[in-house]
Structure 1
Amino acid sequence: MNKETLNKLEFDKIQSMLADLAYSEGGRQKIMAMLPSADLELVQMRLDETEEAMELLRFGEPSFLSSLSPADRHLKKARVAGILNPHELLDIYHLLRASRLAIKYTDEDSVRILKNISSGIMENKELEKKLNDMINEDGVVRDDASLALKSIRKQIETSRQRIKDYLQNFIRSGNNQTLLQDALVTERAGRYVVPVKQEYRHEVKGIVHDESASGATVFIEPLPVVEHNNKIKSLQIEEQREVERILRELSAAVAVFADELLVNLELLEELDLIFARGNLAYNMSAFRPQVNNRGIIDLQKARHPLLGKQAIPVNITLGKYFDILVITGPNTGGKTVVLKTTGLLSAMAMCGLFIPARENSEISVFKNIHVDIGDEQSIEQSLSTFSSHMHNIISILKQVGDGSLVLLDELGAGTDPHEGAALASAILERMKILNARVIVTTHQSELKTFAYQNERVENACVEFDPVTLMPTYELTIGTPGQSNAFAIASRLGLDAELVQRARHLVPQREREISAMIRQLKESQYHFEANNRELEQAQRDLSEQRAALELEREKLYAEKNEIIRKARQEADTYVRVIKREANEAVDELKEMLKDKEQPPKWHEIEQKRKKIRELVVELPSQETVPDGQTIKAGDYVKVKNINQLGYVLENPDDQDEVVVQLGSIRLTVKRDQLALAKAKEEKPTRQRNQTFADKANTISPELDLRGKYAEDALKDLEKYLDDAVLVGIERVRIIHGKGTGALRHAVQTHLKNHPYVKEYRDGAREEGGFGVTVITLR
């Protein structure tokens, strides 16, 4: 796959967009050298890398890569015992720092491939610290790189200060001010001097180092400071020697690990390329394609990545039911855009890039992509448009074969229509025999017939609106394009008689083909309209079914709650009765044990009566009036557990009644029953009324943005309690993207939560990674 072909598809512009997202110069160089691969396993791995990069980029960017510079030259220099300067050593320090941070950044179980890449990076904290301690961020050896250097620089600074103090006193002296051109201290050749007027140069004893361009000023080093300046010069020589010793020592330390650091640099630049692919996917709102090596393309809502928001989504299919697609339609109708979109998205996927198409779109890896697009008339080579196209096609036919994708624009144009159509048909027949995948655009009517007459060849058209005279850019597969010349001419105002005459001049066969295409389009329009109505009806039915299912689940939950509460209160009631009965029995036993003073008969009778009549008295309620019978089917309230039920049997003995409470059957004393009012007939309705206010006010989403994690989790827990109480099935938690810390805290809290059935990141239309969608139990 050569660069010229890729440039025709404008792949170089994609590379430029990708290079702008790289952090380092080395990453940009790798991007510009990037080429599509025909190896299916390699392409799958590249796509996996991009997907893992997107996962890491959600939590923060690897900005440490931006400090990387092409340090390979420095490492090779150190390897042959060269002495690196401070700036080169600073580049090595940044390489070591980026290596350490890259290992830490990719230390996640969810990024298996990137973690494996980082495992090949050497971490050397000792050398990194040594370089950082001796070289500052400005590329200068630090004063405390050694004790000797620190002492020398301190002496230099002391001498400079003494010189400055002397010269300041010199220029402030009233006797000297008339001698000076300006009252300031300056430097010449690294020595401190004062500007003296030319006519007074002999009044100031010292060494002349320079004079102004006009000659009016001479710069003199007074004799009293010469010795100090000499000392500074001597100290600077010592300083340079000490700095060279330190640089030699650091360079030798770097040389020991030069080979490992070269590997580090290569792997970090590869990571830079991968993270650039991830960032481009986010910028393009792109999705991962499914890839195969069977020549099958199935692009859904694909957009040309260089057209931005102006791109019209198209559906492109090739290789599954047909191998050659013949696209017809008017000029400016978008036929060439379809070709370029197919070729460019294929090349992008083969480089491991996500593509701007709907999720689960399918792309094939191809051994070669061949392109003949555009008007390539060459004056220098005396080639016409037709000759230029033929030259390209002849070259393509020599290389094409199984595993090739061929994109041909305006095949057969530029010459006699009949001869051009015949040549085009012959070329397509040869490519069909060679088992290539071909998309071709044409104006030739004969090629529409070619598609009908040959297997594995299909027609398609780019639609055009004859009313507005504007292309719709929609690609319709299965129907050839229809000429709109007469409709457009009439719309523009050409005489109707001329238009009608022109229609009659069209050959009978062409008129029949045109009428057939028109009938096909009308049938297709009606079919699509009916299909849309059917899809809408199915959606409405699904919504109604979902609403009924939600209501059923709510009723089921409320029924279970009533049963749980009834069981709980019944258990409490029984425990109270048993405790009081046991206490009364124990008291009676104690009385009977007392042999010295036996209990009196009436005391024993009181205890027996207490046990016999032991019930839990409840607040006064409406009871069944004396004399009124209870019959099967009556709704009643059991007062001691405050629950509604209905009588199962028509009791013979009115003292005890069998009552059904939800799934529980109880035998209850008659005096513990109250007739239920009509409005209390169904417990489930009463339950609905209990939660009505909360159900009407609670929102299906909770916004936690701007909150600390601790406060946000408290609000989340309360919200989940309320949501479960009123029976909401699905809720959205808005935490924003940010650094990803709040998202991580929320999703960690949701793991193994008793109320949570499952959770996921929001889809792109739901808020993407800034939202977590929860399905409640």
Structure 2
Amino acid sequence: MKLFPLESADKLGLDIVLDRLKTHFRGEATARSQHDFLNPGSHEAVRAELGYVDELQQCLRFDDPIQFLDFPDIQEFLARVLPEGAVLDALELRSIARVLQLAERIGTYFGRRKEKYPLISAELINLVVPSSPADTILGAIEDTGEIRDSASPELNRIRRELVSARGSVRAAAMKALVRASSDGFAADDQPTIRAGRVVIPVRAEAKRKVAGFVHDASATGQTVYIEPEAALHGNNRVRELELEEVREIFLIRERLSSAVRLVLPHTREIRQRLTLFDFRLAKATLGNEMSAIVPKVGNEGVIQIQDGFNPALVLHFNNEGKKRKVIPFSVELGKEHDVLIISGPNAGGKSITMKGIGLITAMVAMGMPVPVDDRSRVDVFDALYSDIGDEQSLSDDLSTFTSHLKNLSSILDSATDRSLVLIDEAGTGTDPEAGGALARAVLEQLLMSGVRTVVTTHFGPLKVFAHETERVANGSMVFDQSELRPTYEFVFGLPGSSYATEISQRAGMPDSVLTRAHELMDGGHASAEALIAELMERNNSLAQSLEETDRVRSELSLQRNTLASRLSSIEEEKQGIREKALEQADAIVRGANRAIERTIREIKESGADKEKTKSARDRLKRTGETLTNESKRTEKKKATRKKRRVEKTTGSSPIGLGDQVRMENATTVGEVLELEGKDALVAFGSMQMRSPIARLVKVGGKAKQQVSVKQSLSASGGLTAHDVRTRLDIRGKRVEEAYSEVVPFVDRGMAAGLSRMEVVHGKGTGALRQILHEILGSMDGVKGFEEAPLSEGGAGVTIIHFD
């Protein structure tokens, strides 16, 4: 995407985003390649790039950590090793090996996750180099660049001999030093090294009394360093072995350089792919940091931002550690409107909103996720033109107004229906009437060319122009008149007042000045400002009413589910009591049968003996009396329960249609809608349930009817698909919080006639997923639900289907 003028990137806040992006780079070459990577090109290329980044976002959120470490830029090393016979130094070879090893690790990671991340896996499929020299190089060279003894058998032999030779020559030198010390010639008690040879320190005046060769003297001249004759052969051997070591190390480096040369084309490609992967991973990391997503992307010049946040503002507050809340905005361009005119008070957020639209559009064109709701769509534009801020130029002798005119002239010459234009404070810097007329003429020209345009202004005529002209829309920033401060909330479709008097009053302007200013103000202008303020106040009131309606609906849904759960528990208890009663009755019958059988058996065995027969009959009589008493106690308990139910049911009067009742052991009050036999149909808010009358408690008679008129949610009188979100994120919520959000979310989706919605709950312990599925399973109108495909979140997302 082309940006004009060049400094518009900084004015939009793109510099803040890119500076933060750089902090997530792992490769030395990534920052230098950033400019190439930030311009994918066509909308197909942008969509593909966003697909890669989206997969990486999901991977960072839900999968195992990606072990992607810092890596050097090896481009220069690869160029130097290209000529046959070229030899790299040890650290350069190790840098190349580190890159090859990292590529193999990343390729293996995503090779095992082809189904989850098909785009990234296909991009990294060739990162594993056949016959890679990485392990050989890393096995031969230390982190410090030293060649290991194990790099070759010959080097190992040379170094073992070096250790032995150095020990021998040091022992010979030490022996000569002890002798010189006993003669009083030594200047120190330890041998040292000079010019790579072991020497002993001797006082200058005694240098001719010690047999050997003088190699050096101290700075004061009082000490000379002599190589003893006994150490001469040993020093020569050490020097020979050191030269052999140098030659062998060179041969090792030459051999490793040749191995790199064999895989040079593949290594170049790996460097490029790793750098691109690093850039995409940084974009995904930044996106998750901002809670950003990949929106829908098209090629028709459409911008539909739902609950969008200015990315620069989000990063600024995060960086400063501020807990200030960034206010979201929703806006539409390219469908019904091509030009949006934003008005409202100074410091109310007009420019921030306009810049947020431009910045989100620019970031999408660069293949970056943006902080918007998943219902959003941001198409790819060829160019973004802006006229923002004070462009006064002392060097060119241009005034602020003249600078604006030059920018606008360039925009009118270059902008097409594939461009987005941002104009801040249109018409300012000159006579208000002439400036307003000029601004309108510019907007009319841009409108005729089909250019998507966003303008901020205080001029009333431009607000009227938006109201009266097809494909031009008003927008405004909300001002809290009770607190005399801006709320930074954006309202689409309504013009805004500048609230100059109110803000002046807050700033401490004298009342006499404010009164006189009001008197001088044009009557029509004053009336228009008052009308706009009234409209804004009504809009705020309607928004609050809608929010309260949603809250009440959520509470009623919670009560409905609580009652349903309680009813289920009662039914289970009832079934348990019934089963227990049957078991007791069966036990009584079995006991009676056993008593009778025992009596008959005793009578038969006694041969009808009178005494035994009388005794058996007495036991049978006692058993009968016991069973009779048990039956009476059961009947008495049953009669008592029935009496209590009758008392609860009748109270002071029987339950009738329209009476206010509640369930036993409950507090929620409902209204009786129907009476049928021993059952009643009761409405508890929006939920209806049938219950035995015996389990209802009358708390009052018929309620007085109330009639209220509510603002419809849309022109058609109900919710539409554009009014509701299709995706809800409940990660990190407690079960109670998730419940209170899911029910109204699903209710709104059903009311809007949606066929499909999504809830993001993450994987975690599975508690949120379980409670979500329990809620969905109990809701009428939910056709079914299922785990999302891997490309859409897998087990961390549930897709809901409606009838």
TM-score by shorter chain over 0.5: yes
Quote the residue 1:52 is aligned against.
55
Q: Is the 8 A contact 1:206 1:222 kept in 2?
A: yes
Q: What secondary structure does 1:341 align onto?
A: helix
Residue 426 (structure 2) pairs with residue 411 (structure 1): yes
Question: Do structure 1's residue 318 and structure 2's residue 332 form an aligned pair?
Answer: yes
What residue identity is the alignment partner of 1:547?
A: Q
| Cα offset, 1:439, TM superposition | 0.9
1:543 matched residue in structure 2: 555
1:340 and 2:355 correspond: yes
- Residue 354 of structure 1: CA displacement? 2.3
Letter in 2 for 1:220: I
The reply to whether residue 352 of structure 1 matches residue 359 of structure 2 is no
Aligned to 1:480: 495
Report the residue type matching 2:104 in the other structure.
R
Is the Cα–Cα contact under 8 Å of residues 13 and 312 in structure 2 kept in the other structure? no
Amino acid at match of 2:363: M
CA contact (8 A) 1:301 1:358 kept: yes
Match of 2:436 in 1: 421
CA contact (8 A) 2:62 2:763 kept: no
Residue number in structure 2 paired with 1:205: 211
Q: Which runs of 5+ in 1 are unaligned?
A: 586-598, 637-680, 686-723, 733-742, 762-767
Give the corresponding residue for 1:141: 147
Q: 2:138 aligns with which of 124, 129, 132?
A: 132
1:241-264, Cα deviation, whole Å (9 max, x unpaired): 222222222222222222122222
Over residues 4-43 of structure 1, what are the superposed CA-to-partner deviations in whole Å (9 max), with x where a residue is unaligned? 1434423233222111112221333333543254633333
CA distance in 2, matches of 1:252, 1:43: 40
Structure 2: distance between partners of 1:168 and 1:25: 51
**Deviations 1:121-145, CA, capped at 9 Å, x for gaps:** 1244763332232222222221112
CA distance in 2 between counterparts of 1:481 and 1:67 reads: 51
Q: Corresponding residue for 2:240?
A: 234
Structure 2 residue 38 is matched with structure 1 residue 26: no
Moved more, 390-399 or 278-287: 278-287
1:276 aligns with 2:296: no
Structure 2: runs of 5+ lacking an equivalent: 598-604, 643-692, 698-734, 742-761, 778-784, 787-792
> Taking structure 1 as reference, are residues 268 and 461 closer, same or farther at Cα in structure 2, changes over 3 Å only?
same
- The structure-2 alpha-carbon separation of the partners of 1:490 and 1:65, relative to structure 1 and needing over 3 Å to count, comes to closer
In the alignment, the residues of structure 2 paired with residue 200 and residue 144 of structure 1 have an alpha-carbon distance, to the nearest angstrom, of 46
Q: 2:454 aligns with which of 416, 424, 439?
A: 439
Report what 1:43 is aligned to: 46
How big is the shift at 1:544?
Answer: 2.2
Partner of 1:658: none
1:68 is matched with 71
Q: Helix, strand or coil for the counterpart of 1:327?
A: strand
Asked whether the equivalents of residues 458 and 498 of structure 2 are also in contact (C-alpha less than 8 Å), the reply is no
Cα distance change on mapping 1:259 and 1:752 into 2, 3 Å: farther
CA contact (8 A) 2:100 2:132 kept: no
Q: Deviations over 1:584-620 (max 9, x none)?
A: 99xxxxxxxxxxxxx9999xxx9xx9xxx9xx99x98
1:524 aligned residue: 536
Q: Which residue of 2 aligns with 1:118?
A: 124
Change in CA separation of 1:753 and 1:730 when aligned onto 2, cut-off 3 Å: closer
Q: What's the C-alpha RMSD, in Å, of the aligned pairs?
A: 4.9
Give the TM-score taking structure 1 as reference length.
Answer: 0.72
Q: Provide Cα deviations, 1:390-419, integer angstroms capped at 9, x if missing partner.
A: 222211222211121101122222223222
1:555 paired with 2:567, answer: yes
Contact 2:149 2:156 (C-alpha < 8 Å) held by counterparts: yes
CA positional deviation for 1:476: 3.4
Aligned AA for 2:148? R
Letter aligned with residue 326 of structure 1: I
CA distance in structure 1 between the partners assigned to 2:585 and 2:134 by the alignment: 74
Q: Does 1:623 align with 2:635?
A: no
Q: Distance in 1 between matches of 2:459 and 2:473?
A: 15
List aligned pairs for 1:149-164, cutoff 5 A.
Answer: 149-164=155-170
By how many angstroms is 1:449 displaced?
2.6
**Equivalent position SS for 1:405:** strand
Which residue is 1:739 aligned to?
none
Displacement of 1:756 after TM fit?
Answer: 11
TM superposition shift of 1:437: 1.0
Change (3 A) 1:756 1:244: farther
Q: Measure, in 2, the Cα distance between the counterparts of 1:42 and 1:349.
A: 11
Distance 2:737 2:631 in 1: 40
State the identity as a percent: 28
Contact between 1:171 and 1:177, CA under 8 Å: does it hold in 2?
no
- Which among 87, 92, 100 is matched to residue 88 of structure 1? 92
SS at match of 1:215: coil
Q: CA deviation at 1:278?
A: 2.1
CA shift, 1:151, in A, is: 0.3
Distance in structure 2 (CA, Å) of the matches to 1:160 and 1:130: 30
- Give the Cα separation in 1 of the matches to 2:740 and 2:434: 66
Deviation at 1:553, TM superposition (A): 3.2
User: What CA deviation, in whole Å up to 9, does each residue of 1:267-289 have, x standing for no partner?
Assistant: 22222112212221232233443
Residue 386 (str. 1) matches residue 397 (str. 2): no
Residue 379 of structure 2 aligns with which residue? 364
What amino acid maps onto 2:17 in structure 1? I
2:497 and 2:532 in contact (8 A); partners too: no
SS in 2 for 1:377: coil
Could you state the TM-score of these two structures normalised by the residue count of structure 2?
0.70
Farther off after superposition, 105-114 or 154-163: 105-114
Aligned in 2, Cα 1:232/1:244: closer, same or farther, shift over 3 Å?
A: same
Residue type matched to 1:442 in 2?
T
Seen in structure 2, the aligned counterparts of structure 1 residues 378 and 514 have a Cα distance that, compared at 3 Å, is: same
Question: Which secondary structure state, in structure 1, belongs to the residue aligned with residue 201 of structure 2?
Answer: strand
**CA distance, structure 1, for counterparts of residue 360 and residue 26 of structure 2:** 24
Q: Secondary structure at the match of 1:285?
A: coil
Say whether the 8 Å CA contact 2:343–2:498 is kept in structure 1.
no
Of 459-468 and 202-211, the range deviating more from structure 2 = 459-468
Structure 2 counterparts to residues 714-725 of structure 1, below 5 A: none
- Give the secondary-structure state (helix, strand or coil) at the position aligned to 1:201: helix
Amino acid at match of 2:453: V
In the superposition, relative to structure 1, how do residues 537 and 488 fare at CA in structure 2: closer, same or farther (>3 Å)? closer
Q: 2-side partners of 1:470 and 1:749: how far apart?
A: 40
Structure 1 residues 479 and 772: CA distance shift in structure 2, 3 A: closer
Question: Measured at CA, do residues 223 and 632 of structure 1 come closer, stay the same or move farther in structure 2, by a change above 3 Å?
Answer: closer
Query: Is the 8 Å Cα contact of residues 8 and 371 (structure 1) preserved in structure 2?
Result: no
